[in-house]
Amino acid sequence: MISENKTLDKVYTAKDHDELMDAYGEWANEYEKDTVDRFGYVAHIESADAFEQVMSHKGAYILDAGCGTGLVGKELSQRGYQKVDALDCSEQMLGEARDKKVYHELFQADMSKRLEFEDNRYDAVICTGTFTYGHVQADAFEELVRITKPGGIICFTIREGAFDDCGYQEKMAEMEHGQSWEQVALVDATYFVKEKVSCKICTYRVTA
């Protein structure tokens, strides 16, 4: 069992992508116990609620990017969404997600690179807990836009601190000025209840 501090330390201080994947690989089967039970992680619930406010069509084809163990997929399934794919870089996290039996297809892929999906594949993308320190950088927004249909929705969290420190806001604004997407909502939400950490939930509509 990994201790509370070691767990977070390993994930947040990973020096590169391989170290991050090692950390998630070790953490996968304890991830939910640590994040939800110990730290009071609620971002998956908050983001599913925000997503539902803008995407009422329950038959929409959705990608849960950075799905982890499938907490978001479970929330979407409980809200009636019927066709949700999952993508994550970590084989072990994807394995946990697969066991939930809430996903249509699951893909192991690196969101920092070009994804092997055709343009305009999805009606919507949701991405929770993955735009944060040492994880996926702002450049990945471009790929999310490419694989989402014009008029489709992209909804993601950005952890407090990382929102100001990691260039996400600048990229979001640049893409709005470049008419790649338009902002639908930007709200403060709780990330970890017990640790008193917040996040932004950002919702964009891909320009038609």
Binding site for ligand SAM (CB under 6 A): 20, 24, 43-44, 66-68, 71-72, 88-90, 93, 110-112, 128-130, 135-136
**Which strand (E) or helix (H) includes residue 71?**
helix 71-78
For residues 172 and 201, which CB has a smaller minimum distance to ligand SAM in the complex? Answer: 201
Q: Which DSSP category does 101 fall into?
A: T
Kindly state the smallest distance separating residue 83's Cβ from ligand SAM, in Å: 18
Kindly state the smallest distance separating residue 81's Cβ from ligand SAM, in Å: 15
Kindly state the smallest distance separating residue 5's Cβ from ligand SAM, in Å: 16
Q: What is the DSSP string of 7-65?
A: HHHHHHS-SSHHHHHHHHHHHTTTHHIIIIIIT-B-HHHHHHHHHHHH---TT-EEEEE
For residues 43 and 50, which CB has a smaller minimum distance to ligand SAM in the complex? Answer: 43
Kindly state the smallest distance separating residue 90's Cβ from ligand SAM, in Å: 4
Q: What are residue 131's phi and psi, to 5 degrees?
A: -95, 95
Measured between alpha carbons, how far is 46 from 191 in angstroms, rounded to an integer? 8
For residues 77 and 207, which CB has a smaller minimum distance to ligand SAM in the complex? Answer: 77
